[in-house]
Amino acid sequence: MNKSILLGLVAVALVAVGFAFFGSNSGSESDPEMTGVIFTRGEGQILVVVGLDDVDIPYDEMLELGKRAAYLEVTGKTVMEKEGKKIAFTDLQEGDAVRVWVTGHLAESYPEQGEAKRIVVID
């Protein structure tokens, strides 16, 4: 087989593997990984819970509800927005409804764990 053809096939395979591995979470135009509310905000991270109506309940009670939840690390690379404008980490508040995109995959723990790529505060 011609070396050029072999190199071309290897390049195509690598691109395909990249798309399969990074999937839908690699771009901010894709669907968010999760939509929920910020239950807590701590040092460089937030806890987002899906389908939670009341953030004024104890942490243990929230866990007992069994709702999807994720601790998300917020880094200098995380894009944060509200109403189309960039915001700072300190602008994120407990009780804010958010859409979250992640970098890579979420660790399968409870709550899940990962790194936020983009956070959009919604009304």
pLDDT, average across residues 104-120: 96
How far apart are the C-alpha atoms of 50 and 68, rounded to whole Å? 5
22 part of a folded domain: no
pLDDT, average across residues 93-115: 96
Structure confidence at residue 48 (pLDDT)? 98
Residues spanned by the domain of 93: 31-122
Band the pLDDT of 123: cuts 50, 70, 90. Answer: confident
110 part of a folded domain: yes
- Residues 24-60 have pLDDT tens digits of 444 446 899 999 999 999 999 999 999 998 999 999 9
Instruction: Work out whether strand 69-73 and strand 79-82 pair parallel, antiparallel, or are unpaired.
Output: unpaired
15 part of a folded domain: no
Domain count for the chain, please give it. 1
Of 78 and 123, more confident: 78
